[in-house]
Amino acid sequence: MRLRREHITTGLAVGAAVIVTALATGLWSFGDRPEERAVAPNPPTTSDNPQGSEQAHGKAEALDPSSTATGSGIGGGLTGQSQASADASQANAGASQQGTLGSSGTSTPPASTLGLADQNFVTSAAAAGVYEVTIARTALQKATDVQVRAFADMLVQHHTAANDQLKVLAAKKGLTVPAEVPAGKRPTLERLSMAQGPQFDRQFVETVGIADHKDDISMFERAAKEARDPEIKAFAERTLPTLKAHLAAAQKLPVSATPANGAASR
């Protein structure tokens, strides 16, 4: 009886110990589980995954515009485009500069297709036309006689038109005509500019209206007969009647027959 009681007591003690141990273990595990769930798993390190590390590094280089180690990617592409744009701009600037030089008139003009005699006629006719337009404009301001002013106005209109035609024709033939009064006519221009009143009227008609137009007619008649270029010859023939009409009009002016002190000379 005593032995049975000891066994029961020992069994109860062992069972109680087992229950206590089980309860303690369960409570400890139950307390750790939320903590384990709250902690995120650690990402694999580069040492654990070498291949992943190389891929990530490659992506970083591709997204970095400043990366020029390999000359590729976004940075290398932008650098190449910038260089290409700079080269294109420099080429365009050179072409523009070359075009400007070409259009500035500094290049050698084409050789004239006219013979020497035809060139001399064109140059002389153009110079005479510029001189007569210049002095006729002076007469519009200084002449006192109404008929002389009307004659000067006619010279300005007719000779300006003839000069423009001759300039176009000369350019077509590769020849540049004078645009200023020739040196040989400047003394006459200065002398007439100093004259005043009726004296100016008389000298203008005698010098420009008669003497100069006689020389013009002689020059144009020779070109109409001897010019080798058909267009130059046609211009001389077409202008000749107008010059003869100018001479006839000047000879009819009253002041043309009036003696002048120190008769006008060329």
Residue 54, CA distances (Å) to 14, 51, 59, 66, 72 in order: 61, 5, 9, 19, 17
Q: Which residue has the tokens 């007469």?
A: 139
Domain ranges for the chain, please list them.
Answer: 116-257
pLDDT at 8: 54
Each of the 266 residues of the chain gets a pLDDT tens digit; together they read 454 555 555 555 655 555 545 555 554 444 444 444 444 445 444 444 444 444 444 444 444 444 443 444 334 443 444 454 445 445 444 444 444 334 444 444 556 778 999 999 999 999 999 999 999 999 999 999 999 999 999 999 999 999 999 999 999 999 999 999 999 999 999 999 999 999 999 999 999 999 999 999 999 999 999 999 999 999 999 999 999 999 999 999 987 644 443 444 33
Q: What is the pLDDT of residue 96?
A: 43
154-162: Cβ within 8 A, 24+ apart:
154/246, 154/249, 155/208, 155/209, 155/246, 158/242, 158/246, 159/129, 159/132, 159/133, 160/133, 162/129, 162/239, 162/242
The one-letter amino acid code at 228 reads: R
pLDDT of residue 102: 40
Token pair belonging to 185: 């006519």
Q: Find the farthest-apart pair of alpha carbons in the chain and give their distance in angstroms, rounded.
A: 189
Count CB-CB contacts under 10 A for residue 117.
Answer: 15
pTM over 0.85: no
Please tell me the predicted confidence (pLDDT) of residue 7: 52
Which CATH code is given to the segment(s) 116-257?
1.20.1260.10
